[in-house]
Amino acid sequence: MYLLEIMYDVGIPGKLIRLVRASMKNTEAKVKFQTQLAEPFKIWQGFKQGDGLAPPLFNLALEYVIMKV
């Protein structure tokens, strides 16, 4: 089950779900090695490392699993 579906099941308002979806859409990252930057690449799933939404959404997913068990 995907995170956005879990958010619907838990009862998160649709407006917040749409905001999360918008923050995940068209995300790009670059890798820096010493002083050189690699070409940007698309992130298809999940969040970038250090994203402020990652910890609360991870907790939400864990809470959903506990509810189902």
Strand 41-43 relative to strand 27-29, pairing: antiparallel
What is the tens place of the pLDDT at every residue in 42-52?
A: 877 766 666 77
What is the tens place of the pLDDT at every residue in 6-38?
A: 888 888 899 988 888 887 777 788 889 899 999
CA triple 53-46-30, angle to 5 deg: 95
What's the first-to-final CA gap in the chain, in angstroms? Answer: 15
pLDDT at res. 36: 92
List of residues 6+ apart from 60 with CB closer than 8 A: 3, 6, 7, 10, 12
Range of the domain at 40: 3-68
pLDDT at res. 61: 86
Question: What is the number of structural domains in the chain?
Answer: 1
The structure tokens listed for 5 are 């579906």
